[in-house]
Structure 1
């Protein structure tokens, strides 16, 4: 997971128009073409990709053309369950299609204790903006300190890793491939060994 320094900044006039939408209509309006909605979604996407440096908030893998992963706007508290926060910028992150898809997050209930205001709610999930991620989730420390295998180290971290499937073998494999390609110049492997590793990683791509 990524600890995010801030969420997207939305024009107050745009936010005012969105806040005026009836709560029960907000999830449906999310898919509409009203100017305020389009403006909000554009800013979430543009600013979110910049803030997150083109990485998924949950699995940390690269997005877009570089990572060959579709970029999604992901409601931390699902709008289907909590329509009141459909247009709250702090409730949105940028994620990949896997982490935001039906097989993982989808409409899972991420709120432990519902309160009147968003900031007062208690979350099951590690919140990318509010929580110090490293207190809940860490990469397993091997001798090289490589960011490959994720583990939860608190009740909230364990919940997040389990429910978001962050310890999935496929994700670990993708992170391992990324680490290798980023650090291959520092590894100083004999050419023959590096060729073998590259071939193995390419085979993984074919298998996936």
Structure 2
């Protein structure tokens, strides 16, 4: 996961119009063409891509134009369950299609204790804006701290890794590829580079 320093900044006038929408209508309005809605969604996407440096908030892999890495706006607390948070910028991150899809997050209930205000809610999931990620989720340690094999180190972290399938073999393989091709020949000692290359070959054969 990625520690996010801030969410998208939304114009107060736009936010006021969105807050005026009846709560029960907000999930449906999300897909509408009203100017306030399209402006909000545009800012979430544009600012989110910059804040997250074109990487998925959950699996950390680079976002793409198609396939499993297609860019999604992802409600941390699903709008289908919590319509009141549909247009709360802090409830949105940019994710890949895989992490936001039916096989993983979809409409999973991420709130442990619901409160009247978003900031007072207690979450099951590690929150990208509010939580110190490294206190809950880490990569297996080695001398170079390679961001490949992920693990939960707290109850909240373990819940997130399990329910978001962050330790999925496919995601682990993709992270290994990213490390190998980004760092090969320069940042990795030869033994570790050789180890990752052989691991990738083994995974490809197994797959």
Normalized against structure 2, the TM-score is what? 0.91
User: In structure 2, how many angstroms separate the alpha carbons of the residues matched to 1:178 and 1:2?
Assistant: 16
Query: In structure 2, the residue corresponding to 1:99 is in which secondary structure?
Result: helix
Corresponding residue number in structure 2 for 1:81: 81
* Contact 1:14–1:36 (Cα < 8 Å) also in 2: yes
1:189 Cα deviation after fit: 5.1
| Equivalent-residue separation in structure 2 for 1:33 and 1:102 (angstroms) | 25
Q: Does 1:48 align with 2:48?
A: yes
Q: Give the match's secondary structure for 2:95.
A: strand
- Distance, in Å, in 2 between the alignment partners of 1:135 and 1:188 is 28
The alpha carbon displacement at 1:44 in A equals: 0.2
Displacement of 1:142 after TM fit? 2.6
Alignment correspondent of 2:132: 132
Moved over 3 A (4+): 65-68, 187-190
Query: What is the CA deviation profile of residues 56-92 of structure 1, one whole-angstrom value per residue up to 9, with x for unaligned ones?
Result: 0000000025997200000000000000000000000
The separation in 2 between residues aligned to 1:157 and 1:188, in whole angstroms, is 30
Distance 1:62 1:101, change over 3 A: same
Offset at 1:8? Answer: 0.1
Q: Following the alignment from structure 1 to structure 2, what is the Cα–Cα distance between the partners of residues 24 and 141?
A: 46
Stretch of structure 1 that moved more, 63-72 or 1-10: 63-72
Count the aligned residue pairs: 202
Aligned-pair RMSD on alpha carbons? Answer: 2.4
Q: For residue 183 of structure 2, give the secondary structure of its aligned residue in structure 1.
A: helix
Question: Which residue number corresponds to residue 185 of structure 1?
Answer: 185
Contact conserved, 2:2 with 2:58, CA < 8 A, in 1? yes
Tell whether the 8 Å contact from 1:61 to 1:67 is kept in structure 2 after alignment: no
The answer to whether the 8 Å contact 2:67/2:97 transfers is no
Residue deviations 1:23-81 (CA, integer Å, cap 9, x gap): 00000000000000000000000000000000000000000259972000000000000
Does 1:157 pair with 2:139?
A: no
1:144 deviation in Å?
3.3
SS at match of 2:166: coil
**Secondary structure at the residue paired with 1:93?**
strand
Structure 1 segments unaligned to the other structure (5+ residues): none
What is the deviation of 1:185?
Answer: 2.3
Aligned equivalent of 1:141: 141
Secondary structure in 1 matching 2:73: strand
